[in-house]
Amino acid sequence: MGFRRCCQATQAVRERCKELILSDDTLRELQRRFLENIQRGLGKDTNASALVKCFITYVQDLPTGEESGKFLALDLGGTNFRVLLIEISKDHFEMRSKIFAIPQHIMLGSGERLFDHIADCLYKFSKEENLLGETLPLGFTFSFPLIQKSLTTGILKCWTKGFNCSGVVGQDVVQLLLDAIERRGDLKISVMAILNDSTGTLMSCAWLNRNCRIGLIVGTGSNACYIEKQKNAELFDGEDLGSGNVLINTEWGAFGDDGALDFIRTSYDEEIDKNSVNPGKQKHEKMISGMYMGELARLVLERFTKEGLLFGGKGSDALFTRESFYTKYVSEIESDRPGSYTNCTEILEELGIKQATEQDYINVRFICECVSRRAAHLVSAAVAALLNKMGEKKVTIGIDGSVYRYHPHFHNLMMEKISHLVDPGIVFDLMLSEDGSGRGAALVAAVACAHPR
């Protein structure tokens, strides 16, 4: 609705933004290409060269709602690290947690030092919660690319998000944690599972909604996991616990690294990629996620200003500075009520643009809408491809991440577009996850305790 309202944007701006608008036919072609990538990731003979790796998580069962007990969870995915104590019984959930910082010298130091720090944080939390005499099951959310060999074995493929600890890539991070705990000698922990945040999101939502079959992250980064039949996951090398299913971590951010997205990528996308820390990598993620959305919008604003389409052709040093237009600005500008430009005015003034007219405000909002709408539609096309592949008649998609959580229209844009792209007869809904990386980790541990190997 907001998109149609902003068709008051000038003809020249609308014309120049057309390359950011994807037709349903284009999105269906993207679905086809994405599904090809999924099949390659699942195949024994094609996985090695696949970009969308479809890592097997070895999570075979979803929560039933009958889980009970006390569980610890660790959540490592950025500069902050969380330790959580979660108590579950039927229809009851209680969680206590503490956040610990990870200083940059540890993020860039040795792996041994990182895991010693994690073990130290775990000890401090356990002492505060009077847990030192107990051996509790633990779920470990480790939101970096992992090759899993079992539910409790995860080999780090590469570091991301500013981490570069030596001696960890190619190693089992669960064993590194256990080694650190053993070096201390004063902790008793039983690691039941290692997982990433998309898996945790699915598990967290599935505890509340039995139809949840997809876990999705649309935040600083983007990823998805889904339930697949074990027979289709050709690299699955574990005992079938009876469900016949296994949860697949797609790592879909790398979709398009082979050029499959080049037919819709723009010069703005190329500029984002060129100036990123990993040029040529994660091209799908760079068109979707919160790490890049603000900069995409800024690049459009900068070009249109220099072409005389905005602000009378007069920009500012701030507007022309990389990373100065935050993704939250996109959400805030689109949160203005129709005919109101309060947030837009404040943001432009922060950027040193004081000469903006009402028509400029309309144009700026239109540009933001084009960028965020494209992101929502790219996510929707991939989600619809997974829904069609699974073929289940009723599916809930659990979602977490700052873009989905805070953008005022992302939910509605996804609902509308997925409904256009799914096969007839499939009913779906989108569910905001409640702390997938914490609650979900504990729930994976709880389900693992209920189905011991």
**Which residues are catalytic, by number?**
82, 143, 197
Distance of alpha carbon 429 from alpha carbon 120, whole angstroms: 41
Distance of alpha carbon 69 from alpha carbon 52, whole angstroms: 36
Partners of 137 in the beta sheet? 190
Which two structure tokens, joined as six digits, stand for 373?
A: 């709408």
Distance of alpha carbon 233 from alpha carbon 185, whole angstroms: 39
Q: H-type helices in 237-318, by residue range?
A: 267-274, 283-286, 290-306
Residue pair 38/54 in contact (Cβ under 8 Å)? The answer is yes
Which two structure tokens, joined as six digits, stand for 311?
A: 């602000």
Distance of alpha carbon 111 from alpha carbon 176, whole angstroms: 8
CA–CA distance from 240 to each of 94, 191, 219, 227 (Å)?
Answer: 32, 20, 33, 14
* Residue 195 dihedral angles phi and psi, to the nearest 5°: -155, 170
What single DSSP character describes residue 89? E
The two beta strands, 212-218 and 222-229, are antiparallel
CA–CA distance from 453 to each of 3, 74, 238, 241, 249 (Å)?
Answer: 52, 22, 10, 8, 21
The two beta strands, 92-101 and 80-89, are antiparallel
Distance of alpha carbon 351 from alpha carbon 58, whole angstroms: 48
Residue pair 141/77 in contact (Cβ under 8 Å)? The answer is yes
Distance of alpha carbon 49 from alpha carbon 339, whole angstroms: 51
Residues 6+ apart with CB under 8 A from 50: 37, 40, 41, 43
* Residue 373 dihedral angles phi and psi, to the nearest 5°: -65, -40
